[in-house]
Amino acid sequence: MILQVKDGNYSYQKRQPNAYLYQNDINFTLQSGEIMSILGPNGAGKTTLLKCVMGLLDWKKGQTYIDNKAFKDFNRKEIWKIIGYVPQASNMTFSYSILDLVTMGRAIFIRTYAQPSEADRQAARQALDMVGILHLADKPCTSVSGGELQLALIARTLVSEPKILILDEPESHLDIQKQKVILQTVKKLVKEHGLACLINTHYANHAFYFGDKVLLMAKEQPILTGNVSDVMTEENIEHYFQIPVKRIRHQDNGEIYESIIPKYFAVEKDV
């Protein structure tokens, strides 16, 4: 499956519809099995971009395409069978069990006023197993950790069997260990199940981990898209985030490590 955005742009200003949010129109193509990381400072328009891509907001210019078919030619039910959206995790108000929370992702397959079937609940269990938290199925969602809840939200999305996975800062507010679990889970799912994946992140180094494509944005700056190695340069990161950085590449036992490090983290030289 191919996800494309052609000449996309957006405006919040009703009186000035041509006062676009992005300095240049957005164009990219994402194939099955590829991950595109979306990077930029706060207020750059990353979440707005995701909402436009999946039709929660209407592009003021341009269009999203799936396999060369424009979004306007799909009905809503068709779209939500293709796209799975994982929003930023927040505190849960109701203490649903994790299994019930994930089963809600089957709503598009359940008739109005009908109850989830055993097949729906079994699909939810399989999704929980895919993300490694089946053992939490009976736990209230209000009693699990932030990382476990984020994995449950990913499972809730997977249970609808999407072809395109869209995540909005899934690793935010998590410690390093939980971030690792989320990143590994997402990468494994995308590669093994052939999903096309868009992921918003504040962490530049996570783009190196996913290793496919990146979209870099900032206020009053042109949108940059391309391969990670081409876009994630010291010059671009410094310009878009307004902070001097050093790009580090290290090889150890056949494994390559790449990282962007702010220069203010440097320690004093040995005397």
Give domain status of residue 216, yes or no. Answer: yes
Q: Residue 55 carries which side chain, given as an amino acid letter?
A: G
Domain count, the chain: 1
Half-sphere exposure of 145 (CA within 13 A, CB side): 12
Give domain status of residue 116, yes or no. Answer: yes
pLDDT tens-digit map of 106-165 = 877 777 767 888 888 899 999 999 888 999 999 998 888 888 888 888 898 888 889 999
pLDDT at site 198: 95
The more confidently predicted of residues 118 and 39 is: 39
H helices within 211-248, ranges in order? 228-231, 234-241
- In whole angstroms, give the CA distance from residue 181 to residue 171: 9
Residue 271 scores a pLDDT above 70: no
Give domain status of residue 60, yes or no. Answer: yes
Give domain status of residue 271, yes or no. Answer: no
Q: Are 40 and 83 in contact (CB under 8 A)?
A: no
Q: The CATH number of the domain where 98 resides is what?
A: 3.40.50.300
| CA distance to 74, 125, 140, 216, per residue, from 219 (Å) | 32, 43, 41, 11
Helix (H, G, I), strand (E, B) or coil at 24: coil
pLDDT tens-digit map of 159-201 = 888 999 999 988 877 888 888 888 898 899 899 999 999 999 8
Percent of the chain with pLDDT over 70: 94
Residue 90 scores a pLDDT above 70: no
In terms of Cα–Cα distance, which of 248, 268, 246 is closest to 258?
A: 248
- In whole angstroms, give the CA distance from residue 34 to residue 195: 7
Mean pLDDT of 93-115: 81
**Predicted model pTM:** 0.87
pLDDT tens-digit map of 2-16 = 999 999 999 987 766
Give domain status of residue 270, yes or no. Answer: no
Residue 17 scores a pLDDT above 70: no
Half-sphere exposure of 182 (CA within 13 A, CB side): 29
Give domain status of residue 45, yes or no. Answer: yes
C-alpha of 73 from chain center: 24
- Residue 91 confidence class, pLDDT cut points 50, 70, 90: low
- Domain with 37, as residue range(s), is 2-265
Give domain status of residue 97, yes or no. Answer: yes
Mean pLDDT, the chain, integer? 88
Lowest-pLDDT range, 121-135, 203-217, 253-267?
253-267
The Cα angle at residue 22 between residues 21 and 23, in degrees rounded to 5: 120
Q: Are 27 and 37 in contact (CB under 8 A)?
A: no
Q: Are 26 and 49 in contact (CB under 8 A)?
A: yes
Give domain status of residue 51, yes or no. Answer: yes
